[in-house]
Amino acid sequence: MSRRVFFVHPCPTCGRRLHIRVEYLGKKVVCPHCGARLDAYDTTAGDFPMADSAGALMKRVEELLETTPDQTPEYARLAHPR
């Protein structure tokens, strides 16, 4: 029986710890928690530059805002009629 080998990588968008198989190193992966796309690399190797997590977060926020319909809470609509 073979055991799969994983490495732990923080998602640059939501910060969750991802357990990524070593066969995905150097490839694009998707965070199962927030859907962010990221490059899979071993942060302990030191040969890959750290991602700009603030920039990645803002990019993800903009993507979500573009795809999310207006969800104004009902109480806000009642308090401020249009």
Q: The pTM is what? A: 0.47
Would 19 be classed as within a structural domain? Answer: yes
Would 47 be classed as within a structural domain? Answer: yes
Would 22 be classed as within a structural domain? Answer: yes
Would 42 be classed as within a structural domain? Answer: yes
Would 67 be classed as within a structural domain? Answer: no
Q: What is the pLDDT of residues 28-59, one digit of tens each?
A: 899 999 999 988 876 665 554 555 566 776 77
Determine the structural domain holding residue 25 and report its residue range.
1-51
Would 14 be classed as within a structural domain? Answer: yes
Residues contacting 20, CB < 8 A, separation 6+: 6, 7, 8, 9, 29, 40
pLDDT at 65: 75
Least confident of 54-58, 61-65, 70-74, 76-80: 76-80
Least confident of 1-10, 56-65, 71-80: 71-80
CATH number of the domain residue 32 falls in: 2.20.28
Q: Residue 2: which pLDDT band, with cuts at 50, 70 and 90?
A: low
If one counts the domains in the chain, the total is 1
The mean pLDDT value of the chain amounts to 74
